[in-house]
């Protein structure tokens, strides 16, 4: 009898495993109608392996080219590449929320605008911030003056470079860092990397370690294990040290400490103001993000924020505002500096040189408002973002209820999404999709291409920093090409720069040689302008 019981247990276990590992993912789910490789449908670890190699975005793109606009990329994960799916998943009123994947971007143990799952939570927080990031605010007064001053400092930095050759991956990071810290923290945490502060420049190094990608992989795919490893102390901390995907201090540690100290500086000033019976913010202009959030600090309102919630929100905006802007500007300058793209650079130069005196500030440089109106410059930026979106990867979402997308039944809890990388390389929409061609945005086909353009996401989750990023990019690019002609520095020909995004390194895949986090450009001064 005992042997029969053992056999029954083994048989039941085998049946359960067959059902769970084989029948459920391949046959007993509505997702079995969706095309895709069986290896991906069987286990989530097949796609995780692509993440490990740093090839998941390109692999998903290839699967779409093979199987069409709907591809199953996991037992409960589906990738789309149609406009209908874009509207359903990310459009206004969508019932799809952000998945637990985004919790890796929590700061100080608190959620923020980027990591909230529900539209209600996100919308409640966003309404506290949206005015500060609106185009009308960014292009006037303090914000515009701030960007214009950072542009002036960047030009001074380039002027001082030996032979006017700059490693622009670094210098553009200094530019975006100085802009975003002043915009968020004002006098309590603004950096001066452009002016040579080694302490502030070192903050950029905090995000460049290649093992950052390995840590991201462990955080997403082995969340509990990773959390356990990094919370060990004393003897156990020493024992697990060789197992850490990235040695301490892990990525973002320095920047997050800097951001927290900036908040503490601000909070200390508020405490002093209250003790001295001075109205908080009385001496401030109230225009930094930190100052705008303070009135909601532990208020009796339903959206009141405690110290760490404000600190988390500000730190998240800081981290989001560095790489995205600087990487796009780097690829813009690098693309225009290609020998085959001199015609595009010349068109841009003619546009910005034609700016009237009324479009220049007191330093004789283009204003943020005038730069924003340069049509060809905007086309150049849009084409750069199309090919080299700073966040080109799959953007996961999930819904608590069943739905139908592109004719397929999607069960509740299924992870769905799409990527700018694939949308922007649709050959039926973008002629010669791998070719850098800003002119494409000026023709009659631009209206249709705009429907597929997704560099800033869409709907309620659209990038809140869009207008600030555009002001930084248009003002600097207009100023550079009024004064300089840019070319690839000697020795950097036939090399593509590479940037890090989550698990992957992205570059121009048409080039055989890539240098991560490096881009050397020669700035040759023009006569008669600047």
CB 26 within 8 Å of CB 42: yes
Q: Which residues are annotated as a binding site for heme?
A: 463
Q: Write the Ramachandran bin of 214: left for phi over 0, alpha for psi from -120 to 50, otherwise beta.
A: alpha
Q: Is 60 exceeded by the pLDDT of residue 3?
A: yes
CB 80 within 8 Å of CB 418: yes
Closest CA to 332 of 347, 320, 350, 344: 344
For 471, phi and psi rounded to 5 degrees? -65, -45
311 by DSSP, 3-state: which?
helix
- Give the pLDDT confidence of 20-39 residue by residue, as tens digits: 555 556 556 899 999 999 99
269 by DSSP, 3-state: which?
helix
Full-model pTM = 0.92
Closest CA to 401 of 419, 391, 413: 413
- Whether a cis peptide bond, with omega within 30° of 0, leads into 249 is yes
pLDDT band for position 460 (50/70/90)?
Answer: confident
The DSSP call for residue 27 is T
Average pLDDT, stretch 498-517? 94
- Give the pLDDT confidence of 207-239 residue by residue, as tens digits: 888 889 999 999 999 999 999 999 999 999 999
- Of the two residues 92 and 370, the one the predictor is more confident about is 370
Q: Where are the alpha helices (DSSP H) in 140-222?
A: 141-160, 168-185, 198-205, 211-221
CB 59 within 8 Å of CB 40: no
* Residue 249: per-residue pLDDT: 85
Q: Is 60 exceeded by the pLDDT of residue 530?
A: no
User: Which value, to the nearest 10 degrees, does the dihedral of the CA atoms of residues 153, 158, 162, 167 take?
Assistant: 110
- Give the pLDDT confidence of 390-414 residue by residue, as tens digits: 999 999 999 999 999 999 999 999 9
> Where are the extended beta strands (E) located within 412-483?
415-418
Going from the C-alpha of 19 to that of each of 15, 29, 64, the distances in angstroms are 6, 11, 28
* Residue 528: per-residue pLDDT: 47
pLDDT band for position 282 (50/70/90)?
Answer: very low
Average pLDDT, stretch 109-113? 92
Average pLDDT, stretch 363-384? 97
Average pLDDT, the chain: 91
- Give the pLDDT confidence of 155-167 residue by residue, as tens digits: 999 999 999 999 9
Six-digit token string for 10:
């083994």
CB 85 within 8 Å of CB 284: no
* Residue 299: per-residue pLDDT: 67
What is the distance between the alpha carbons of residues 500 and 498, in angstroms, rounded to a whole number?
7
12 by DSSP, 3-state: which?
helix
DSSP percent split of the chain into helix, strand, coil, nearest 5:
55, 10, 35
* Burial of 232 per CB tally in 10 Å (0-12, 13-18, 19+): middle
CB 489 within 8 Å of CB 165: yes
Six-digit token string for 403:
């739905």
* Residue 298: per-residue pLDDT: 81
Q: How many Cβ atoms sit within 10 Å of the Cβ of residue 112?
A: 23
pLDDT band for position 272 (50/70/90)?
Answer: confident
- Give the pLDDT confidence of 430-445 residue by residue, as tens digits: 999 999 999 999 989 9
Q: Which residues are annotated as a binding site?
A: 463
Least confident stretch, 164-173, 346-355, 368-377, 455-464: 455-464
Do the strands 495-501 and 513-516 form a parallel or antiparallel pair, or are they unpaired?
A: parallel
Q: Is 90 exceeded by the pLDDT of residue 516?
A: yes
* Residue 250: per-residue pLDDT: 84
Packed helices 466-483 and 375-387: angle between N→C axes, nearest 10 degrees: 110
CB 70 within 8 Å of CB 78: yes
What is the distance between the alpha carbons of residues 485 and 240, in angstroms, rounded to a whole number?
52
* Residue 302: per-residue pLDDT: 61
List the end-to-end C-alpha distance of the chain, in Å, as a whole number: 94
Closest CA to 499 of 234, 239, 260, 176: 176
What is the distance between the alpha carbons of residues 463 and 114, in angstroms, rounded to a whole number?
9
Give all strands of the β-sheet with 495-501 in edge-to-edge order. 504-506, 495-501, 513-516
In words, the CATH class of domain 126-209+251-389+424-525 is mainly alpha
Closest CA to 341 of 498, 482, 507, 485: 485
Greatest alpha-carbon span in the chain:
99
- Give the pLDDT confidence of 133-150 residue by residue, as tens digits: 999 999 987 999 999 999
Going from the C-alpha of 394 to that of each of 48, 82, 93, 113, the distances in angstroms are 13, 14, 21, 19
What is the distance between the alpha carbons of residues 296 and 294, in angstroms, rounded to a whole number?
5
Q: Is 50 exceeded by the pLDDT of residue 415?
A: yes
What is the distance between the alpha carbons of residues 318 and 114, in angstroms, rounded to a whole number?
12
pLDDT band for position 120 (50/70/90)?
Answer: confident
What is the distance between the alpha carbons of residues 262 and 248, in angstroms, rounded to a whole number?
22
Closest CA to 497 of 335, 377, 322: 335
- Give the pLDDT confidence of 151-207 residue by residue, as tens digits: 999 999 999 999 999 999 999 999 999 999 999 999 999 999 999 999 999 999 888
Six-digit token string for 382:
């849009």
Q: Is 90 exceeded by the pLDDT of residue 353?
A: yes
Percentage of the chain modeled with pLDDT above 70: 91
What is the distance between the alpha carbons of residues 492 and 383, in angstroms, rounded to a whole number?
22
Do the strands 165-167 and 520-525 form a parallel or antiparallel pair, or are they unpaired?
A: antiparallel
Q: How many Cβ atoms sit within 10 Å of the Cβ of residue 92?
A: 10
């Amino acid at each position: 009898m005992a042997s029969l019981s053992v056999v029954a247990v083994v048989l039941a276990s085998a049946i359960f495993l067959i059902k769970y590992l084989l029948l459920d993912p391949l046959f007993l789910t509505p997702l079995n109608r969706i095309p895709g490789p069986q290896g991906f449908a069987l286990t989530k670890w097949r796609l995780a392996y692509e993440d490990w190699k740093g090839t998941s975005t390109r692999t998903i793109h290839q699967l779409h080219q093979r199987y069409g606009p709907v591809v199953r990329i996991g037992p409960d994960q589906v990738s789309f590449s149609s406009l209908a799916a874009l509207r359903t998943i990310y459009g206004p009123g969508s019932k799809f929320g952000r998945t637990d994947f985004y919790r890796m971007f929590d700061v100080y143990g608190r959620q923020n605008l980027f990591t909230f799952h529900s539209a209600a939570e996100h919308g409640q927080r966003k309404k506290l911030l949206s005015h500060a990031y609106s185009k009308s605010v960014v292009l006037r007064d303090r914000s515009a003056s701030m960007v214009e001053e950072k542009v002036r400092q960047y030009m001074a930095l380039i002027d001082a470079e030996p032979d006017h050759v700059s490693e622009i991956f670094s210098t553009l990071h200094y530019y975006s860092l100085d802009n975003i810290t002043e915009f968020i923290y004002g006098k309590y945490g603004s950096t001066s990397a452009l002016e040579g502060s080694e302490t502030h420049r070192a903050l950029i190094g905090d995000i460049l370690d290649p093992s950052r990608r390995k840590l991201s992989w462990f955080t997403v795919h082995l969340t509990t294990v990773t959390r356990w490893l990094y919370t060990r102390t004393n003897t156990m901390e020493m024992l697990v040290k060789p197992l850490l995907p990235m040695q301490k201090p892990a990525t973002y540690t320095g920047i997050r400490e800097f951001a927290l100290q900036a908040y503490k500086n601000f909070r200390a000033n508020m405490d002093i103001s209250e003790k001295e019976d001075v109205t908080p913010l009385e001496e401030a202009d109230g225009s930094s993000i930190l100052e705008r959030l303070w009135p909601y600090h532990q208020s009796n309102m339903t959206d009141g924020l405690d110290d760490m919630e404000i600190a988390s929100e500000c730190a998240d905006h800081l981290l989001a505002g560095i790489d995205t802007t600087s990487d796009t500007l780097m690829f813009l300058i690098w693309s225009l500096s290609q020998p085959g793209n001199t015609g595009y650079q010349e068109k841009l130069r003619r546009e910005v040189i034609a700016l009237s005196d009324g479009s220049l500030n007191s330093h004789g440089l283009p204003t943020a408002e005038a730069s924003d109106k340069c049509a060809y410059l905007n086309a150049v930026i849009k084409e750069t973002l199309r090919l080299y979106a700073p966040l080109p990867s799959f953007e996961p979402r999930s819904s608590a209820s069943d739905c139908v997308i592109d004719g397929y039944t999607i069960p509740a809890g299924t992870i769905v999404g799409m990527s700018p990388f694939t949308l922007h390389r649709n050959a039926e929409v973008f002629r010669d999709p791998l070719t850098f061609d800003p002119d494409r945005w000026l023709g009659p086909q631009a209206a249709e291409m705009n429907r597929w353009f997704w560099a800033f996401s869409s709907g309620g989750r659209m990038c809140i920093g869009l207008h600030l990023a555009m002001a930084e990019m248009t003002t600097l690019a207009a100023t550079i090409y009024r004064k300089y002609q840019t070319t690839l520095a000697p020795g950097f020909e036939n090399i593509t720069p590479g940037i890090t995004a989550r698990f992957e390194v992205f570059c121009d895949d048409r080039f055989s040689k890539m240098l991560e986090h490096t881009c050397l450009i020669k700035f040759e001064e023009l006569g008669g302008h600047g």
